[in-house]
A and B are shown apart, each in its own frame.
Chain A
Amino acid sequence: MLDVHLPGLKLKNPVMPASGCFAFGAEYSNLYDLKVLGAVTIKAATLAPRYGNPTPRVAETPGGMLNAIGLQNPGVDEIIRKELPRFEENKVPVIANIAGSEMDDYVLTAEKMSQQSAVNALELNISCPNVKHGGITFGTVPEVAAELTAKVKAVSEKPVYVKLSPNVTDIVAMAKAVEEAGADGLSMINTLLGMRIDLRTQKPVLSNLTGGLSGPAIKPVAIRMIYEVSQKVSIPIIGMGGIQNADDVIEFFLAGASAVAVGTANFVDPFVCPKIITELPEKLNAMGVSDINELVGRSWKK
């Protein structure tokens, strides 16, 4: 009922934690068996280690949060050595999120990551709003995104999902550009660029000034974008942005997603992913749906 097959990913259910909200799984594996998850999307890897931005790195907003972590990670080699072995035994599909600041970093990182047996697919993060160079520029200019996608596809041994930024005027143009460049799937959406100002200090709350907005507040934006894009591309979409429960998952499927990722909600309820996976069959039964794949794009399909 919940099985979903996507390029490189045979998922027993379509629910996975979103990149950056689950680190490399170690912490959450103290709480529950990661095998219950459809897949795990691990934190962005960059070629060299990155410390990230100064704190404060997070700020709460109505129905959401801003983050400016700045892609803190120990670098691709260290991740391969220290973090991936956890998944060799675990048998849960892994999507490795890749970030960079230059074309070449992305390509080298993607190449190394895609060669790992524990990794089932790559997620190309062309949309991180929190790094000064790269990231966002790759995510806002369709030609640049397409060029990067093609270069990564050329070296990757695994399917490549491109994670789109919502901070663009024409999301469909971006999606089509990376599809034409060879992307096997799309992940959407990353965070929306935002800011909060402290009334006491009269300065921005985050030391990075701006941050990425996530959580329930962005769900309508994600739904709208997936609704628009899924009608114009033929590659599958992993949907994310504010998912908190099984009803939200169903809404994403109706919009056109073929799987979903849960980010911020893990901080609110660390057991949210297993809870959603348990709730989904009941919800589908109540809807008279025997296979979740039937729901994909139902909101626009004739």
Chain B
Amino acid sequence: MMQEDMRVLAHEEIADQIFKLKLEGEMVQTITEPGQFVHIRVGGESQSIAPLLRRPISISSADPSTKTMTLIYRSGGLGTSLLSETKIGEKIDVLGPLGHGFPVDATPLKGKALVIGGGVGVPPLYGLSQALIERGVHVTHVLGFRSAKDVFYQAEFEKLGRTIVMTEDGTSGKQGRVTDVLDSVDFDAAYTCGPIPMLRALEHAITEKPLFVSLEQRMGCGIGACMACVTHTTDPNDAKGYRRVCCDGPVFKAREVELC
């Protein structure tokens, strides 16, 4: 974990309010797993005090050979709107890499993985899929979005493996929810990130095979010290009874913790 002013190499809107941000810096060399995240201080240079807190954003993909990493985020609130104004060449205060990501070795070498994403839960799954493919794993992606204007990275995922895009209104791909197509896919392990109702449905649907879920939670420190981001374990006899999403997660085994 380190704090670094990382240089913006590219920054563009790739779907409605969805931005792709490419950063360069030494931190990239210290990323250990897909699904880790960074904590970004927005507007730190401007001396303004709002927004005060850092914003957690997943690392979508990383390339240690060029010391670059890509983040994909939705601009909406105070911090992310300000972030979206950052220009190429400027620097951004980044703390990371943080947390524990997806265990790629839960899928056997040359096995089959199912990767399921919803909305802005999709970004970390791209780096995950790349890492799985490096292990010779055959990956199927199911990506859910609200509407055609929200879809991003479809072509990128298609290059890595079979990709089923679903939209709630049917304006792109198939109409419906990600859970509608699970029966058609054969897999050894599944990985998911997205809205809570989707995670809940998947924890219900996938019980025979390993499933890993990535959670979101409001954060303070992002490094395990403030106890803002905790969630209960489902096991009432667990020694601690809770996990911190920022450092014990954000990725957990399905049903290990309560979905917050």
Contact = CB atoms under 8 A, between A and B. Distances in A.
Interface of A: 20-23, 26-28, 30-31, 43, 51-52, 55-65, 67, 69, 72, 74, 215-216, 264, 266-271
Given A23-B227, A27-B224, A58-B228, A267 B50 contact: no
B1 A269 contact: no
B211 to A, nearest CB: 22
A60 B80 CA distance: 14
A57 B227 contact: yes
Given A20-B226, A69-B226, A268-B41, A55 B231 contact: yes
Given A55-B231, A55-B260, A264-B52, 19 more contacts: A21-B221, A23-B224, A27-B221, A28-B225, A30-B1, A51-B242, A52-B227, A55-B218, A57-B228, A57-B230, A58-B218, A60-B52, A69-B227, A266-B221, A267-B53, A267-B220, A267-B226, A269-B3, A269-B41
A74 B3 CA distance: 29
A42 to B, nearest CB: 11
Contacts of A62: 49-50
B54 interface: yes
A84 B53 CA distance: 29
A68 B228 CA distance: 8
Nearest to B224: A27
Contacts of B241: 51
25 contacts: A21-B226, A23-B224, A26-B224, A27-B223, A43-B227, A52-B230, A55-B217, A55-B229, A55-B230, A58-B218, A58-B219, A62-B49, A63-B50, A65-B52, A67-B226, A69-B227, A69-B228, A72-B230, A267-B54, A267-B220, A267-B226, A268-B41, A269-B3, A270-B3, A270-B95
B222 interface: yes
Contact of A270 (B223, B232, B240): B223
Contacts of B242: 51, 72
B51 interface: yes
Nearest to B219: A58
Contacts of B227: 20, 23, 43, 52, 57, 69, 72
A137 to B, nearest CB: 23
Given A22-B225, A23-B226, A55-B260, A268 B231 contact: no
Contacts of B225: 21-23, 27-28, 266
Interface string B236-251: 0000111000010000
B85 to A, nearest CB: 19
A67 B224 CA distance: 15
A31 B96 CA distance: 11
A22 B220 CA distance: 11
A195 B221 CA distance: 20
Contact of B221 (A56, A59, A267): A267
Given A51-B241, A270-B95, A216 B223 contact: no
A108 to B, nearest CB: 22
B173 to A, nearest CB: 28
A62 B54 CA distance: 13
Contacts of B228: 55, 57-58, 67, 69
Contacts of B78: 60
Nearest to B241: A51
Interface in B146-161: none
Contacts of A63: 49-50, 52
Contacts of A59: 218
Nearest to B48: A63
A23 B242 CA distance: 15
Contacts of A269: 3, 41
Contacts of B230: 52, 55, 57, 72
A63 B247 CA distance: 26
Interface in B123-169: none
A269 B221 CA distance: 9
Q: Which 10 A-B pairs have the closest CB atoms?
A: A23-B225, A58-B228, A27-B225, A63-B49, A27-B224, A267-B221, A56-B218, A72-B227, A267-B220, A27-B223
Q: Taking each of B49, B217, B240, which has the highest tally of chain A beta carbons within 10 Å of its own beta carbon? A: B49
A57 B218 contact: yes
